[in-house]
Amino acid sequence: MGLANGAASFDDHGDGSRSGRRALFYSHDTFGLGHLRRTRAIANALVEAHPGLSILIISGSPVVGSFEYGNGVDYVRVPGVVKQPNGDYTSMNLKVDLDEAVRLREAIIQETAEKFAPDLLVVDKEPAGFRGELLPTLGMLRRRGARIVLGVRDVMDDPALLRREWERKGAADALLRHYDDIVVYGLRSFHEPLASLGLPECVEKRIRYTGYLRRELPLEPHFVEYPPVAHGHFVLVTTGGGGDGDHLIDWVISAYESEVPPSVPALICFGPFISREQRRSFLARIARLSRVDAIAFDAKLENLMNRATAIVAMGGYNTFCEILSLDKPALIVPRARPRLEQTIRARRAAELGLAKVLEDPEETGRGRREPCAMTRAIDDLLRSPRPSQAYVAGLLDGLDTIVEASGGWLARRAASDRPLTLFGEAVA
């Protein structure tokens, strides 16, 4: 178990009563930082709004301890798993096969939920959990009367692919059997991520669009010494966790290696999951360039984004929220494989005037990356409007909407209010 600020106590008072409400957050975190960072933002907002609330986050991220948590938030780390280039998964650190790693994760999740006894369970993205590991816990908490909420990002994947994936995983069945509410961390006018699933009308009525999750600058002092590039005008290049951003970093470096490089310096943040070999190769190239520098990872990247003149990014959900919150002109270079999530988000953002988009021809199979295309895109970005200039109603209302909804989620249920029901209908 990891320790964060304000550790949550598992103990009841001697008479079986408890001092406050409890919420359990599940973030499977098989790859990258997205699920964890989204979960952390929501948890921190809830403990600030509900002073007596204790929140425990279950995460598989190896960097779960690198971030700031609000008073009342703690975490439990389950054994990590990682996605291979061929799409298969393997245990991250333990020398056990994947099935055993999943059994360990499942047991830790269930034991944690049983002892912590949350009033609310909030699940990020995967209704059944990774490889169904959440199903025993869902059944147990439902029998105990906990409220169970699924939260999904604004864009999941190509609609047809998502439907097949959810059918294969049993995700739709888990949603119908166990969940009370669904929240989408985006706007209906931007995208409807679950529209292709053919959900019953009673379920559709319970989907709530919150708006995007506003991000604030970290409150704690920051002691990272930034490279000289970060003390003037510069573009920040970020690939989130970095495990799948090689194509963007390579393209940006190639632009600065060309005869006519971009007119503004660049600072590249590799992310914690880039391979050691790839980082070493990029650093060797960057060392020959006078207007490019790099850092490995910054858990408080919002500070660096706030300093930047503009952002070049892949367009994952959290980075998009930060671009909107810090109101920075942005160039999104989306990944097109293995999911179309980033491409769908980037195209829609460009349609609404929230960001520029440059699609990678090697990702889409339409040709080769040309350094001059990246140079033109970065130079054009410096003249681009900020996202706030494209007014979209309710764009950053996400955390406020979730806090408002959480009052009902955390309200104690009387015994008569605790039958096995879903969306107002009895479950056999």
- Residues 165-216 have pLDDT tens digits of 999 999 999 999 999 999 999 999 999 999 999 999 989 999 999 999 999 8
- Evaluate if residue 375 carries a pLDDT over 80: yes
Output b/e per residue, 400-426; b: 16+ Cβ within 10 A.
bbbbeebeebbeeeeeeeeeeebbeee
For 17, counting Cβ atoms within 10 Å of its Cβ (0-12 exposed, 13-18 middle, 19+ buried), the class is exposed
* Calpha distance 319→108 (Å, rounded): 30
Q: Cβ distance 343 to 319 under 8 Å?
A: no
**How would you classify residue 122: left for phi > 0, otherwise alpha for psi between -120 and 50, otherwise beta?**
beta
- Placement of tokens 């790099």 in the chain: 294
Amino acid of residue 254: S
- In DSSP notation, 173-195 reads HHHHHH-SEEEEES-TTT--TTG
The pTM assigned to this predicted structure is 0.88
CA distance 172 to 170: 6
16 Cβ partners below 8 Å, 6+ apart?
Answer: none
What are the structural domains, with CATH classification, of the chain? Answer: 22-214+396-426 (3.40.50.2000), 228-389 (3.40.50.2000)
CA atoms within 13 A on the CB side of 176: 14
Q: What is the pLDDT of residue 87?
A: 65
Question: What is the pLDDT averaged over residues 106-121?
Answer: 97
- Give the other-Cβ count within 10 Å of 280's Cβ: 10
pLDDT band, very low/low/confident/very high, at 396 (cuts 50, 70, 90): very high
Question: pLDDT of 127-160, one tens digit each?
Answer: 999 999 999 999 999 999 999 999 999 999 999 9
User: How many other C-beta atoms are found inside a 10 Å radius of the C-beta of residue 290?
Assistant: 9
What average pLDDT is seen over the chain? 88
At 413, is the pLDDT very low, low, confident or very high (cuts 50, 70, 90)?
low
Residue 30 pLDDT > 70, yes or no?
no
Q: What is the pLDDT of residue 66?
A: 79
| 296-to-231, 239, 253 alpha-carbon distances in Å | 18, 11, 16
Cα separation, 263 vs 256, whole angstroms: 9
